[in-house]
Amino acid sequence: MLELTISQYNLVYNIFSFTFAAMLGSFVFFVLSRNNLAPKYRGAMVMSALVVGIAGYHYLRIFESWSAAFVLVDGMFIEEGVGFNDAYRYVDWALTVPLLVAELVAVIGLTGKKKGWLTFRLATAALLMVVLGYPGEIATTVSARAIWGAISTVPFVYILFVLFTEMNSALANQSEKVRPLFRNTRLLLLATWGFYPIVYMFPLFEITGAGVVVAVQVGYAIADVLAKCGYGFMIYNIAKIKSEEEGYVPGAAAVPAPAAGD
Ligand SMILES: *C/C=C(C)/C=C/C=C(C)/C=C/C1=C(C)CCCC1(C)C
């Protein structure tokens, strides 16, 4: 039976509330600022908005589930009834993680077959990673958690491999100004995505009970804000600079032809 102190319960409660607010705020920003971008980059912003919209909805449900899962008895929060539903998180990832990789490909400005194939491979690997991680997340033994975690790491490594090898040739075609932004976005992706398997491994260490539940929820929530909102802002920045470089003037009726060599 899970028992949390009042401050443990409140910490998670407040983090969920903060995360919902961050997703909602980002959603409004991405929708409103879409028109500052050249039309070819708007798709990336639509995907950013979808990601934080979908995640915002799920955080609301996670937040509700958390509130309903515990009762206060003698100064401790005791889990009762149907308990806390963690599945929302994986449903959310199954939808948002493929969109996040598609966003990055969209903002590079590849066209045609190359774009479609790259997006397909990255999005499929992302979906596989999430689907294969779930049985481990709900497993009741450490060994099952470790095995599913290891299997789920295969597509994860594949994604990183594609981003850090194949994508280099696409980056070589970007302007001086845009290239470091791409590198930073890719590093943010590596740092934040790398955080999920670490959080996932918490229960494999000695931490058990209330402490680990709190650490996992807080860890995933912070990673989600950085990997969805923070990342979306960086994608917006890249798209904005590229739009300007390509001569796009927000509000102008026609878009001038891109400069030679672009
Ligand atoms: C917005 C949500 C994001 C960016 C979620 C990303 C999730 C991961 C990178 C999860 C990776 C996992 C492994 C690599 C192994 C263990 C199981 C997972 C699913 C936690």
Distance of alpha carbon 239 from alpha carbon 199, whole angstroms = 31
Percentage of the chain with pLDDT > 70? 95
Q: Does the CB atom of residue 23 touch ligand 1 within 6 A?
A: no
Nearest atom within ligand 1 for CA of residue 100? 4
Mean pLDDT over 227-232 rounds to 96
Nearest atom within ligand 1 for CA of residue 55? 1
For residue 167, what pLDDT is reported?
80
Q: Model's pTM, two decimal places? A: 0.90
- What value does the mean pLDDT of the chain take? 91
Residue 52 Cα to ligand 1 midpoint, Å, equals 16
Residue 50 Cα to ligand 1 midpoint, Å, equals 19
Residue 252 Cα to ligand 1 midpoint, Å, equals 41
Each residue of 45-97: pLDDT tens digit?
A: 999 999 999 999 999 999 999 999 999 999 999 999 888 988 999 999 999 99
The residue among 207 and 2 whose pLDDT is bigger is 2
Give which of 62, 58, 138, 46 is closest to 94, Cα–Cα.
Answer: 58
Q: Does the CB atom of residue 100 touch ligand 1 within 6 A?
A: yes
Residue 200 CA: distances (Å) to CA of 38, 169, 197: 39, 33, 5
Give which of 151, 49, 51, 31 is closest to 98, Cα–Cα.
Answer: 51
The residue among 205 and 69 whose pLDDT is bigger is 69
For residue 24, what pLDDT is reported?
98
Lookup result for tokens 């294969």? 132
Whether the per-residue pLDDT at 262 is higher than 60: the answer is no
Q: Does the CB atom of residue 130 touch ligand 1 within 6 A?
A: yes
Each residue of 123-143: pLDDT tens digit?
A: 999 999 999 999 998 888 889
For residue 254, what pLDDT is reported?
56
Nearest atom within ligand 1 for CA of residue 134? 19
Q: Does the CB atom of residue 153 touch ligand 1 within 6 A?
A: yes
- Residue having the nearest C-alpha atom to atom 14 of ligand 1: 153
- Residue having the nearest C-alpha atom to atom 19 of ligand 1: 133
3-state secondary structure 99-136: HHHHHHHHHHCCCHHHHHHHHHHHHHHHHHHHHHHHHH
Nearest atom within ligand 1 for CA of residue 149? 16
| DSSP string for 15-72 | HHHHHHHHHHHHHHHHHHHGGGS-HHHHHHHHHHHHHHHHHHHHHHHHHHHHHHHEEE
Distance of alpha carbon 100 from alpha carbon 122, whole angstroms = 10
Distance of alpha carbon 100 from alpha carbon 104, whole angstroms = 7
- Sorting pLDDT into bands at 50, 70 and 90, what band is 244? very high
Q: Does the CB atom of residue 129 touch ligand 1 within 6 A?
A: yes
Whether the per-residue pLDDT at 260 is higher than 60: the answer is yes
- Sorting pLDDT into bands at 50, 70 and 90, what band is 257? low
Mean pLDDT over 208-236 rounds to 93
Q: Does the CB atom of residue 156 touch ligand 1 within 6 A?
A: yes
Q: Are 72 and 87 in contact (CB under 8 A)?
A: no
How many Cα atoms within 13 Å fall on the side-chain side of residue 89? Answer: 23
Lookup result for tokens 């001086």? 176
Q: Does the CB atom of residue 26 touch ligand 1 within 6 A?
A: no
Residue 192 Cα to ligand 1 midpoint, Å, equals 9
